Structure 1
Amino acid sequence: MRTRGFEIVSAYADKDIHVPERKTSNSAGYDLEAAEDITVWPYEIAVVPTGLKAYMGSNEYLSIFIRSSLAFKSGLMLANNTGIIDSDYYNNPDNEGHLMIGLYNTGTSPVSIKKGERVAQGIFMKYLTCDDDCASGQRVGGIGSTGK
Structure 2
Amino acid sequence: MRPSPDLGGISLSERIEVFIKRLPGNEDIALPQKMSELASGFDLYAAVSEPLDLGPGERALIPTGFALAMPAGLEAQIRPRSGLAFKHGITSLNTPGTIDADYRGEVKVLLINHGKETFTINRNERIAQMVFQTVPLITLTEVSELDETERGAGGFGHTGTK
Compute the TM-score of the two structures, normalised by the length of structure 2: 0.71
User: Please, what is the CA RMSD of the aligned residues?
Assistant: 1.8
Distance across 2 between alignment mates of 1:29 and 1:5: 16
Aligned to 1:26: 38
Distance across 1 between alignment mates of 2:41 and 2:67: 15
> How far apart are residue 53 of structure 1 and its match?
1.1
Aligned to 1:60: 74
Gaps of 5+ in 2: 6-16, 142-162
In the alignment, structure 1 residue 46 sits paired with structure 2 residue 60: yes
In structure 2, the residue corresponding to 1:99 is in which secondary structure? strand
Aligned to 2:106: 98
Counting aligned pairs with the same residue, the percent is 31
Gaps of 5+ in 1: 91-96, 134-148
Rg bigger for which structure?
A: 2
Tell me which protein shows more helix as a share of its residues: 1
* Counterparts of residues 1-148 of structure 1 (less than 5 Å): 3-10=17-24, 12-13=25-26, 15-36=27-48, 37-90=51-104, 97-131=105-139
Distance across 2 between alignment mates of 1:129 and 1:106: 36
Q: Which runs of 4+ in 1 moved over 4 A?
A: none
Distance across 1 between alignment mates of 2:117 and 2:139: 49
> How far apart are residue 25 of structure 1 and its match?
1.5
Paired residues, number: 125
Distance across 1 between alignment mates of 2:53 and 2:96: 21
Any conservation in 2 of the 1:6–1:20 contact (CA below 8 Å)? Answer: no
In structure 2, the residue corresponding to 1:50 is in which secondary structure? strand
Any conservation in 2 of the 1:39–1:46 contact (CA below 8 Å)? Answer: no
Any conservation in 2 of the 1:49–1:101 contact (CA below 8 Å)? Answer: yes
Any conservation in 2 of the 1:38–1:48 contact (CA below 8 Å)? Answer: no
